[in-house]
Structures are given as structure tokens and as C-alpha cells.
Amino acid sequence: MKKLLFLLLLAAVNTYAQQDLSTACRQIKAANTLREAQQYELAEDYLKNGLAAVKAAGGKEARYWEAAAYEYMALLNRDQENNPESVRNFSKARELYRNNGYDVSAKAMDILLGHVREGDDIFGGIDIGAKGTKLSIVAVKPGKNGGYTYKIIRKLTLNPQTSTGTDNAFHETATALRELVDTLKNRGIPENRIFVVISSGLAQALQQSGNNTVSRLQQVLATETGNYRGPLNIISAAEEGRLVTKGVLPSRYLYNSTSIDIGSGNTKGGYYAADKRFEPLSFEYGTITLTEAIKASNTGQLPFHEAAAQYFNTRLKPVISKELSRKPGFKNRRNVFIMGGCVWALVSYLHPQQEGESFVSFTLNDVKRLKKMAVENYEVLINPDLSALDNTPEKKEAAAAAIREVRDKVFNQENIIAGATLLEGILTDLNGTLPPKTFYFPRYGVVGWITGYVVESVTDEVKSKTE
């Protein structure tokens, strides 16, 4: 009889403990929801109560939730920019996860610890493109509300004429690549944080020249670039579009928005469908290739803007309409993120007061205004009035620097007209469908592909663990 009473009492205690643990888990989960809602004080109260309860409960499940409580507390500290406490709590969570066999969660804590302990993560990207070999040194860190924040520490472009397809141009490209890799390594950036790609636009140009010049370029680079032993991938237009989309779009927009990147050599982009499959978009026209195509077709020696309009109506408009119609997401999604040099020129010339903003909205009327000024009043376009920024001298200088770079190093008048013609055609086609579209220029889209690589390399690292 005594044994039976003992067993009944033990069962009652266990039932009570399970109920108590269940209540504590709900508190911890609610705390994280409150953190997301920016109810920080209430979130902290819930976390402290839940943490005390799971510590008292004991058992493996309770130890898991103890680790989760420390993780959520660390996220709360991070959101409040209290990095020392965030490091302390992420470290506690990591040890609890690791000691109890939750390897995936422990690895995730390692990654989060790196972000709050070291500040920005520094990566280097080298883009061997049709318009030069470009270096970007980028500081990347997760944003509070999803996605990533960027800071471009340094940009540098060397200009071997790689797209000509000659051996001499390829040797010059190898020399440029060695110089840029040395620049990255001298900054202390390890090779596993250096990404080198041969752009889709360059690959397209070389393929058109024949003689297997893409493979020849890879061979010359592999042979003559002794300071870099990483992959020299030719990035397809679809892959470039996917990486840019993943790297640029904030996470809350990733599955409900589209992206378009108007490069020098081609246009690419796409969107993630509901099943997380990427739907790519690409066509061969970019700002520079379109400029050259308009010139080549202008046998009647029309003024460039008239030749551009003629070329658009006969050759370009059907290409844009066909490609966008093949992808229903471009028609039924409201937010469109459009990047590339021609959009950068638009926001630099027409909206200098928004210099430094990560995402700048613009309209079809802005594009029409850009094209009209490029044709009729080019000098006024490229020398915008910055007096409205007199009270913010740092912002004024940044805006002036962006204008100088676009004007002196990126695009000439014909390029602006060609790029605006292409951009106008895309926006006009998209604006013809519901819902109404909102267009954004992601200022750091130029390094979005690097961040796409970063996101995937971190994901692969975590996937290598098993829980």
C-alpha cells in the first residue's frame, strides 16, 4: 500500500513538473514574440521568469529550453545594442546546446557570436566584368529586422579590355586580379572570405566572339594568378540574379517581391516562388550593350535618342514583354527592386538628397524625366543643384562624390539615354498590370552578389552539422 501511494505521489509530482515546464516554455516563446514586437521590457520579464522555471525543472527538455532562453536573451541584448551582454548570453546558449548534443544550434550560436563580438564581418569580392575588373571590400552584418546591412569600405576598378577576347587582354586581366587579391590579403581578409566571379555579361561577350575564349580566360587566370587558389567561377545570368536577389532583398520581402539588375552587358533578376524555387529572368541587353546595338543599327545617322526610340520599338520592346510575361511573379507582385548603373545615375542626379539611404523609391515619371533631361539638357542633369544639402555637409559631399563617379567614370550621355530607354520599357510593362508597383533602388545592390555568396556559405556550414 505504501509503495502504491509513493508511486501515485511520484506520478503527481511528475505531472506537476511537466505542466510547470510547459508553462515555462510558453513564457520563453512568448518572450521572443514580444522581442520581435519591440516590447523589450516585457520580453525581459517573461524570459527571466521562464528561465528560472526551466532551471528548476531539470531534465534534457528543460536544458534545451534553458539554452533557448539564453539565446532569446542574447537576441534581446543585441536588439538593444548591448553587445557585451549579448556575447555573454550567446556563449551560455552555445555551451548548453553543445553539451546536450544540439550541434546545429551550437553552430548557429558561433555565427551569431561572431557578429556581435567582432562587429562587421569583412568580405572581398572581385567581379571580372565586361566593363573592368572590380574590387569591393564590404562589411556585412545581419540587420535587426531581417536581411543584411552593408558598408562599402573600398571600391577599386581596373580596366583591362577583357571583353576583346585577346590573349594580351587576358594577361592584363590576370595582372589586375593578382593586384586586387593582394589588396584584399593585405587587409587581412582570408581566402575563404574572398569571392571571385567572371560575370555573365563578360561570358556572354566572349562567347559571341567564339574560339572558346571563356575557357581560355579561365586557363590564363588559373595559371598566372598565383596568389589566389580559389574557384574562378563563370557566373550565369540566372545564378547572378539569384545571388543578388538573396543578398539584397530584406528577408521580409524575399518571397513577395521581384528583383531586376540592369548591368552593363545584360539584364538579369528573378524572384523566389512560394516553394522557395528561384524563377530567373534574363535577356542580353544591358546599358552598354544596348548603346552599342543602337549605334550599330543607326544606318540612317539619326540623332542618338531617335535611333534609341526606333531600336526600342522594333527590337527591344518585344524582348522585354516576352521575358516579363513568362514570369507571373513580375506581374502579380507589388514590390520591385531594380539595381544597376542606370538606376544609380537616376537617384544620384535626380534625388541627391537621398544619398546614403539604403533603399530609394522612384517612379516611371522619374525615368522619363531622366531621359528627357539627358536628351534636352544634359549639362543641367549631370550638375544637379545641391544647395538643399548645405546644412548637412557630409551628406552633400557624399552626394557630390556619387555624381562625380557616375558622370566621370560610369556612363556618358549616350549610355544614360540607352539605360533610361531600357529602364522606361521595363517599368512601363510592369506598370500595365495590377497590383500597382512600387520600385526601389537598393543602393548596395552592386555588392549584393557577394552577400548572396556569404549567406549561402554560412548556410552550407550550418548544414554540415547534424542535430
Residues 421 and 400 in one domain: yes
What lies within 8 Å, CB to CB, of 164 at 6+ separation is 209
- From 97, 118, 139, give the residue that closes a domain: 118
pLDDT band at 465 (very low <50, low <70, confident <90, very high): low
Residue 59's pLDDT is what? 86
Query: Which is more confidently placed, 266 or 460?
Result: 266
Q: Does residue 462 form part of some domain?
A: no
Residues 250 and 315 in one domain: yes
pLDDT band at 312 (very low <50, low <70, confident <90, very high): very high
Count other Cβ atoms within 10 Å, centred on residue 77: 21
* pTM: predicted TM-score of the whole model, two decimal places: 0.74
Residues 83 and 179 in one domain: no
Count other Cβ atoms within 10 Å, centred on residue 307: 22
Share of the chain above pLDDT 90, in %: 56
Rounded to whole angstroms, how far apart are CA atoms 218 and 225?
A: 10
Helix (H) / strand (E) element for 191: namely none
Q: Does residue 9 form part of some domain?
A: no
Residue 84's pLDDT is what? 84
Residues 129 and 80 in one domain: no
Residue 3's pLDDT is what? 45
Query: Which is more confidently placed, 5 or 407?
Result: 407
Q: Does residue 310 form part of some domain?
A: yes
Q: What is the DSSP letter of 236?
A: P
Which of 79-83, 353-357, 420-424, 430-434: highest mean pLDDT?
Answer: 420-424
Query: Which is more confidently placed, 374 or 252?
Result: 374
Query: Which is more confidently placed, 306 or 112?
Result: 306
Between the CA of residue 383 and those of 86, 348, 360, 406, what are the distances in Å?
Answer: 47, 10, 20, 11
Residue 452's pLDDT is what? 81
Query: Which is more confidently placed, 271 or 459?
Result: 271
Q: Does residue 61 form part of some domain?
A: yes
- From 211, 235, 259, give the residue that closes a domain: 235
Q: Does residue 396 form part of some domain?
A: yes
Residues 289 and 436 in one domain: yes
pLDDT band at 463 (very low <50, low <70, confident <90, very high): low
Write out pLDDT tens, residues 103-147: 888 888 887 887 676 555 788 899 998 778 989 888 876 665 555
Rounded to whole angstroms, how far apart are CA atoms 228 and 218?
A: 13
User: Can you give the CATH number for the domain in which 29 is found?
Assistant: 1.25.40
What lies within 8 Å, CB to CB, of 29 at 6+ separation is none
Residues 364 and 261 in one domain: yes
Residues 268 and 411 in one domain: yes
Q: Does residue 459 form part of some domain?
A: no
Whether 201 contacts 241, CB under 8 Å: no
pLDDT band at 6 (very low <50, low <70, confident <90, very high): very low
Residues 411 and 284 in one domain: yes
Q: What's the mean per-residue pLDDT of the chain? A: 87
User: Can you give the CATH number for the domain in which 374 is found?
Assistant: 3.30.420.150
Q: Does residue 60 form part of some domain?
A: yes
In the chain, the number of structural domains is: 3
User: Can you give the CATH number for the domain in which 192 is found?
Assistant: 3.30.420.40
- From 235, 255, 287, give the residue that closes a domain: 235
Per-residue pLDDT averaged across 165-174, rounded?
93
Whether 121 contacts 141, CB under 8 Å: yes
Between the CA of residue 173 and those of 129, 215, 230, 366, what are the distances in Å?
Answer: 10, 14, 16, 37
Q: Among 11-25, 228-242, 284-298, 433-447, whose mean pLDDT is lowest?
A: 11-25
Residues 387 and 347 in one domain: yes
How many residues comprise the chain? Answer: 467
Q: Does residue 465 form part of some domain?
A: no
Residues 255 and 218 in one domain: no
Residues 226 and 288 in one domain: no
User: E-assigned strands of 267-367?
Assistant: 267-272, 278-283, 335-340, 359-362
Helix (H) / strand (E) element for 139: namely strand 132-142
Write out pLDDT tens, residues 371-383: 999 999 999 999 9
Residues 139 and 256 in one domain: no
Whether 204 contacts 266, CB under 8 Å: yes
Residue 259's pLDDT is what? 96
Give me the domain span that covers residue 75.
21-118
Residue 17's pLDDT is what? 42
